Structure 1
Amino acid sequence: MAFDTPAPRAMPDVACERGPEVSGRLERVGMQRIEALLRLPLADGSLRELPARIDAFVDLSVSEARGIHMSRLYRQIDAALATQPFTPALLHALLQGFLRSHEGLSSRAMLQVNLDLPLRRAALVSSHSGLRHYPLALAGSLKRGGALRLELGVAITYASTCPCSAALARQLIAERFAQDFPAHAPLDHAAIRAWLGSEQGMVATPHSQRSRADLRLRLAADVLHWPIESLIDRAEAALGTPVQTAVRREDEQAFARLNAANLMFCEDAARRLQHALDTAPDIADFWLRVAHFESLHPHDAVAVACKRVPGGYGADDQSLALT
């Protein structure tokens, strides 16, 4: 039995048929946290398929227009991610498409992708390894007739041991040593070694805490690939104490040694990252914030730094939204 296909009928489009109740330009109109699946190219040439959340916006520069065409943004994103890896070039093409589809309504387009990138990280000493998930933000903005602005955000989790606390602990250990081994008594090598390895010899320990660095980077507009892994490696090497995955006792001991060799206030951590990013290729500007989630206080110790490029990021800028 054949069924007749109903003829298309006109449907109301209130956004186009009526003007706004109150006129005015809007800086951003669009959608936030669009559920998506994208293929991210990695440094080894592989593609990693990852779930993501996408924010897509244009401005509404016509005061008398009631709204934009949000479905046009969504369809462009969905079609592009279904067939192409998410490269800086694809992001640029999407922003250009946003503006073309809103000709006469919008002069700026913005897109941000948030995702977690799992990377396998080797243990410090043993042959074990495990996955670390790095929160990422990949973003771009484009003005009609202007240049592309590309940004990359990443969060790095690391350990920080307080230099002041370490000095105070060393002082107590030295005082306890003077009590247990008086100056007038002969020193016995075996006894001292045993004392150093005992709880009695460890009369105080410095406090340390898990810490986090949020990095916001403006990339050169002509980059072909996201420099994600090289950036993470550079930042973790500068800090010296990235958190670990699978560990055996030898790895934990090596981690303790690294913490002792990398005592740092939040100011030290910020300056280490500042120096590392100053010399990183493909990074035109940066803003960073480190937060030490202190074990001594109920509040965090925080430091912010930027590259100080004229017209670039300032101290009052905020990081890309990283979860």
Structure 2
Amino acid sequence: MKDVQSEKDLRHIPLKHVGIKNLRWPIELMDKERGTQHSVAKVTLAVDLPHDLRGTHMSRFVECLRTLGPVGLNEIENILDKLKEHLQAEKAFLQLEFPYFITKAAPVSGMTAPMDMDCVYKAEKGERFKLRIKAVAPVQTLCPCSKEISDYGAHNQRAWAKMEIEANELVWLGEERPAVADAAASAPVYGLLKRPDEKFVTERAYDNPRFVEDAVREIALRLEADKRITWYRAEVESVESIHNHNAFAVVEKGE
């Protein structure tokens, strides 16, 4: 059959990324407590397309995943190598977006329940392999200004601590990133709370007011102190309870 994708293109425009996205695929993740954890990822796969090729072979992207089965962290570089080989590309790109579950104990009752975090693996390989890992942990912020100017109470809300890193050693998603976020915020968020737990969390937040600027700086201090981390980008976004907008602050290593 005629290979239309491999026809020569005379427009001389190379393409940065050509591929597939929004493919759901089973993945296997390393879990410090349980060994492994299974999840479902939304997958993006792409390669750079030279200026003289009309198109790429989309089915080969799925083939590279199919032959490997569930995708674990150790398999990511192998997938990129297969993409480069099967699609005759100089550079390949992979992104996995997935929920990761941790087990968190309430601060007073000690009752445990699963809690999910949104995570992303973003990898590419040309001459060298590059991997970034992102975790989004829910936390709570309480406004220092509101506490200062109010006769009683202060507005507080759930916020998202978003941490994207490059590292030269293994960094655990579920066991380390939430701890960094919790320490930087006014108070942690939990999957299950009884009344004594609610009292504890509410009072802890009130005693520890944080702007998003405060929280993201606290995260940066902790990431900077971790010698395994070679680059990071941290953001805290607060889903404001009394404003019709969100507040956010960002810090990036190297800026």
- Shorter-chain TM-score: which interval? over 0.9
2:144 matched to which residue of 1?
A: 163
1:115 matched to which residue of 2?
A: 98
The alignment's TM-score, normalised by the length of structure 2, stands at: 0.93
Among 37, 55, 58, which residue is 1:48 paired with?
37
Distance 1:41 1:101, change over 3 A: same
1:19 matched to which residue of 2?
A: 8
Kindly indicate whether the alpha-carbon contact (under 8 Å) linking 1:39 and 1:81 is maintained by their aligned counterparts in 2.
no
CA offset at residue 162 of structure 1? 0.5
Deviations 1:252-301 (A, max 9, x none): 01101210222011110110111111112421100111111222221122
CA offset at residue 22 of structure 1? 3.2
Structure 2 alignment gaps of length 5 or more: none
Among 135, 139, 148, which residue is 1:154 paired with?
135
Aligned length: 254
* SS of alignment partner, residue 80 of structure 1: coil
Q: Structure 1: which 4+ aligned runs deviate by more than 4 Å?
A: none
Distance 2:178 2:244 in 1: 29
Distance 1:240 1:301, change over 3 A: closer
2:173 matched to which residue of 1?
A: 228
CA offset at residue 240 of structure 1? 5.0
2:229 matched to which residue of 1?
A: 283
Distance 2:116 2:23 in 1: 21
Kindly indicate whether the alpha-carbon contact (under 8 Å) linking 1:68 and 1:102 is maintained by their aligned counterparts in 2.
yes
Distance 1:64 1:307 in 2: 38
Kindly indicate whether the alpha-carbon contact (under 8 Å) linking 1:156 and 1:242 is maintained by their aligned counterparts in 2.
no
Among 69, 81, 99, which residue is 1:96 paired with?
81
Among 241, 244, 248, which residue is 1:298 paired with?
244
CA offset at residue 21 of structure 1? 6.4
- 1:206 maps to 2:154: yes
Among 189, 194, 197, which residue is 1:251 paired with?
197
Question: What CA RMSD, in Å, does the superposition of the two structures yield over aligned residues?
Answer: 1.7
The alignment's TM-score, normalised by the length of structure 1, stands at: 0.74
Distance 2:224 2:185 in 1: 15
Larger Rg: 1
* SS of alignment partner, residue 187 of structure 2: coil
CA offset at residue 166 of structure 1? 0.6
Distance 1:167 1:243 in 2: 23
Deviations 1:21-63 (A, max 9, x none): 6331000001111110011111135211211111111101x21
Identity of aligned residues (%): 23
- 1:216 maps to 2:204: no
Kindly indicate whether the alpha-carbon contact (under 8 Å) linking 2:139 and 2:181 is maintained by their aligned counterparts in 1.
no
Task: Give the letter aligned to residue 93 of structure 1.
Answer: N
CA offset at residue 232 of structure 1? 2.4
CA offset at residue 132 of structure 1? 0.8
1:68 matched to which residue of 2?
A: 56
Distance 2:136 2:76 in 1: 21
Kindly indicate whether the alpha-carbon contact (under 8 Å) linking 2:93 and 2:123 is maintained by their aligned counterparts in 1.
yes
Q: Is the strand fraction higher in 1 or 2?
A: 2
